[in-house]
Amino acid sequence: MDCNIFDPVELPCGRTVENRLVKVVAMYEHMSNFSGGSPNEFHYGLYSEWAKHGWGMVLTGNVQVSPQHLTLGRDIVVPATLNAEDLKPFERLAEVIHGGVDGARSLAIMQLSHAGRQSARFIGGRSPFVAPLAPSPVRVGAGNPGAVRDVIADFVFHTLFQAPTEMTTQDILHVQSSFVRGSLLAYESGFDGVQVHAAHGYLLAQFMNPKSNIRNDEYSAAPENNIRMLHEIVEAIRKVVPTTFIIGIKINSADYVASGSTEEVSQQGEQCILDHIRTISSWGIIDFIEISGGDYEKPDFMASVGSQQSERQAFFAQFSQTVMKDLHRSPTPFSSIPLVLLTGGLRSHSHLQTALVSGHADLLGIGRGAVLCPDLPKILRSQLHNSKSPSTWADRPFAHEPAAVLGASKWLPNVKLVGAGFGSAWYIIRMRDIAVSQIKNPGAEPPPLDYDQGGLFAFFKMWAWFDFGRATVWILGISTALVVGFFCYH
Ligand SMILES: Cc1cc2nc3c(=O)[nH]c(=O)nc-3n(C[C@H](O)[C@H](O)[C@H](O)COP(=O)(O)O)c2cc1C
């Protein structure tokens, strides 16, 4: 296939992606207020850096459709009402993403998500004694009979996650309408589209996975039912947005089989997801499908390059090639076939080019690489234009991963979430550094990368970050209430 990273490509809805580089796949920023909120100056600062460099598409981190089901507490949340005042911060974010220099205009895509049972106990936006909603009352860490269990893993999962409450049909309909409202928010505030997050063990993935869905009704994990929830959501979204509004889906490449030998599980799992993707394509309303993998019990999506888990990422690449072939053999008209977005471990020009040329993907998703190297499209462009011998740079990674992240998986090896958490913290701190530097001086280069910063230190730094203005208002408010109370009492 004769295809280049900088070739434009058309989506089924008719919109064009100017090149194949997608940041900047969704990455949770941890920048909103505690217990969730709208985008703010930090988000604008961060996204303005990516906007400068000509990415084809820019996805936001997950925007939660339910304020009671956050991930790490500082999520962007779809507001309760969509009046002009509520839309403003989202309009500003869309403007920032669109506002590239030199005429480069990235498509702005809002990722919509509901964490379901993976919404943690103290920071998920609920009181600590209110359980999250999920398809079935199966706690994270409890529904995986094949997993290595130990006391520490059980303790960590028990402390962080509650046994969820099984959703009623009314809850299901409510969640569906929340996704539709999220899409209206995206549309009305000027985003070009949404990506519905149905991967990484979040609510919609929970419906598809027999380890988290033991229902017997029409939303069960049986093959004929397990993508009903996703289908009803995207169909309802398509009805309220124009045909040119982009709708994408993020989905896992496996994890749809409850038990069996590893080979059986992976073969059945692969067949099952291929069937899903075929079905999704036949709906004729989806513009792109991002293939990823893993969940909080097994965070494959956070594998480091060179680690054992990165073999899983190579598997995503192989699998996405199978998907591409399968889709193009299907009876769905060519113009309605969703583009395939491959994410995970793409770290060098030759990785990117091979994925395109070998037909592994139509679009190339870069997460951590885009944090290490926000100007990647510019660098690749100038390498292509200026260098006569690609062999000198094509295989070189565009940025080295920090040791903190490579080492993080050694922490509590049976609770991979902890290692992944320390790894993510390093990137979250880096995103914050970029944001702060852009707020101080919008034209400046981001500060140098701090490779000496450890994962544990990044983790503390990630949490020890307050909105001092708001904290002061709270402290003053509480002190006043105490003083008034004291005098009234006497
Ligand atoms: C700090 C951080 C936050 C992330 N947040 C999200 C998210 O909000 N939604 C999502 O779908 N994936 C999220 N991911 C996963 C990435 O989208 C991506 O699948 C993963 O990082 C693998 O791609 P990479 O090897 O290019 O980084 C996150 C990853 C990181 C490192």
What end-to-end distance do the CA atoms of the chain give, in Å? 83
Average pLDDT rounded to a whole number, residues 146-173 = 84
Residue 15 pLDDT exceeds 70: yes
The pLDDT of residue 387 is: 66
The pLDDT of residue 332 is: 80
Site to probe by mutation for ligand 1, drawn from 20, 24, 25 as the one with most ligand atoms within 8 Å of Cβ, is 25
CA of 367 to the centre of ligand 1 (A): 6
Domain interval for residue 345 = 9-489
Average pLDDT rounded to a whole number, residues 333-362 = 88
- Whether 4 is in a domain gets the answer no
Instruction: Output the 3-class SS for the chain.
Output: CCCCCCCCEECCCCCEECCCEEECCCCCCCCCCCCCECCCHHHHHHHHHHHCCCCCEEECCCEECCCCCCCCCCCEECCCCCCHHHHHHHHHHHHHHHCCCCCCCCEEEEEEECCHHHCCCCCCCCCCCCCCEECCCCCCCCCCCCCCCCHHHHHHHHHHCCCCEECCHHHHHHHHHHHHHHHHHHHHCCCCEEEEEECCCCHHHHHHCCCCCCCCCCCCCCCCCCCHHHHHHHHHHHHHCCCCCEEEEEEECCCCCCCCCHHHHHHHHHHHHHHHHHHHHHHCCCCEEEEECCCCCCCHHHCCCCCCCHHHHHHHHHHHHHHHHHHHHCCCCHHHCCEEEEECCCCEHHHHHHHHHCCCCCEEECCHHHHHCCCHHHHHHHHHHHCCCHHHCCCCECCCCCHHHHHHCCCCCCCHHHHHHHHHHHHHHHHHHHHHHHHHCCCCCCCCCCCCCCHHHHHHHHHCCCCHHHHHHHHHHHHHHHHHHHHHHC
Give me 11's structure tokens: 């989506």
Reported for 467-476, long-range contacts at CB under 8 A and 24+ positions apart, including other chains, are: 467/33, 467/34, 470/33
Per mean pLDDT, which range of 90-104, 289-303, 392-406 is the poorest?
Answer: 392-406
Condensed to tens digits (0 to 9), the pLDDT of residues 24-37 reads 788 999 999 988 99
Whether the CB of 23 sits within 6 Å of ligand 1: no
- The protein residue with its alpha carbon nearest to ligand 1, atom 22, reads 344
Strand-strand pairing, 57-59 and 107-113 = parallel
The pLDDT of residue 102 is: 62
* Rounded percentage of the chain residues whose pLDDT exceeds 90: 53
- Looking up tokens 């809850």, which residue turns up? 171
Per mean pLDDT, which range of 44-48, 140-144, 156-160, 349-353 is the poorest?
Answer: 140-144
Give me 196's structure tokens: 């519905």
The pLDDT of residue 401 is: 81
The pLDDT of residue 263 is: 63
Average pLDDT rounded to a whole number, residues 444-451 = 90
The pLDDT of residue 437 is: 95
CA of 424 to the centre of ligand 1 (A): 8
Candidate ranges 234-248, 407-421, 464-478; pick with highest mean pLDDT: 234-248
Confidence of residue 119 (pLDDT cuts 50, 70, 90): very high
Candidate ranges 84-88, 265-269, 362-366; pick with highest mean pLDDT: 84-88
Give me 155's structure tokens: 């303790």
How many domains are there within the chain?
A: 1
The pLDDT of residue 45 is: 97
Phi, psi of 40 (to 5 degrees): -140, -170
- Whether 220 is in a domain gets the answer yes
The pLDDT of residue 410 is: 60
- Whether 3 is in a domain gets the answer no
The pLDDT of residue 484 is: 67
Phi, psi of 339 (to 5 degrees): -75, 150
Average pLDDT rounded to a whole number, residues 322-332 = 86
The pLDDT of residue 293 is: 80
Residue 2 pLDDT exceeds 70: no
- The protein residue with its alpha carbon nearest to ligand 1, atom 9, reads 26
Kindly report the average pLDDT of the chain as a whole number: 85
CATH of the domain at 25: 3.20.20.70
Torsion of CA 364, 370, 372, 375, to 10 degrees: 110
The pLDDT of residue 314 is: 62
Average pLDDT rounded to a whole number, residues 369-391 = 83
CA of 319 to the centre of ligand 1 (A): 19
Strand-strand pairing, 57-59 and 21-23 = parallel
- The protein residue with its alpha carbon nearest to ligand 1, atom 17, reads 26
Give me 61's structure tokens: 């981190």
Residue 232 pLDDT exceeds 80: yes
The pLDDT of residue 303 is: 62
Confidence of residue 177 (pLDDT cuts 50, 70, 90): very high
Give me 48's structure tokens: 């303005």
Give the atom of ligand 1 at the shortest distance from the alpha carbon of 431.
1
Confidence of residue 383 (pLDDT cuts 50, 70, 90): confident
The pLDDT of residue 331 is: 82
The pLDDT of residue 181 is: 98
Average pLDDT rounded to a whole number, residues 137-149 = 71
- Whether 249 is in a domain gets the answer yes
The pLDDT of residue 262 is: 61
CA of 24 to the centre of ligand 1 (A): 9
The pLDDT of residue 138 is: 95
- Whether 2 is in a domain gets the answer no
CA of 61 to the centre of ligand 1 (A): 8
The pLDDT of residue 407 is: 56
- Note the pTM of the prediction, 2 decimals: 0.90
The pLDDT of residue 216 is: 97
Whether the CB of 25 sits within 6 Å of ligand 1: yes
Phi, psi of 185 (to 5 degrees): -60, -50
Average pLDDT rounded to a whole number, residues 355-367 = 90
Average pLDDT rounded to a whole number, residues 260-271 = 66
Whether the CB of 424 sits within 6 Å of ligand 1: yes
The pLDDT of residue 278 is: 92
Residue 181: name the closest of 78, 70, 285, 87 by CA.
Answer: 78
Whether the CB of 79 sits within 6 Å of ligand 1: no
Residue 132 pLDDT exceeds 90: yes
Residue 307 pLDDT exceeds 60: no
Whether the CB of 402 sits within 6 Å of ligand 1: no
Residue 255 pLDDT exceeds 70: no
The pLDDT of residue 296 is: 83
Residue 68 pLDDT exceeds 80: yes
Average pLDDT rounded to a whole number, residues 204-215 = 94
CA atoms within 13 A on the CB side of 141: 21
- Whether 1 is in a domain gets the answer no
The pLDDT of residue 72 is: 92
Residue 414 pLDDT exceeds 90: no
Whether the CB of 343 sits within 6 Å of ligand 1: yes
Residue 228 pLDDT exceeds 90: yes
* 16 strand-pairing partners: 10
Give me 197's structure tokens: 């997050």
CA of 28 to the centre of ligand 1 (A): 7
The pLDDT of residue 466 is: 64
**Residue 138 burial (CB < 10 Å; 0-12/13-18/19+)?**
buried
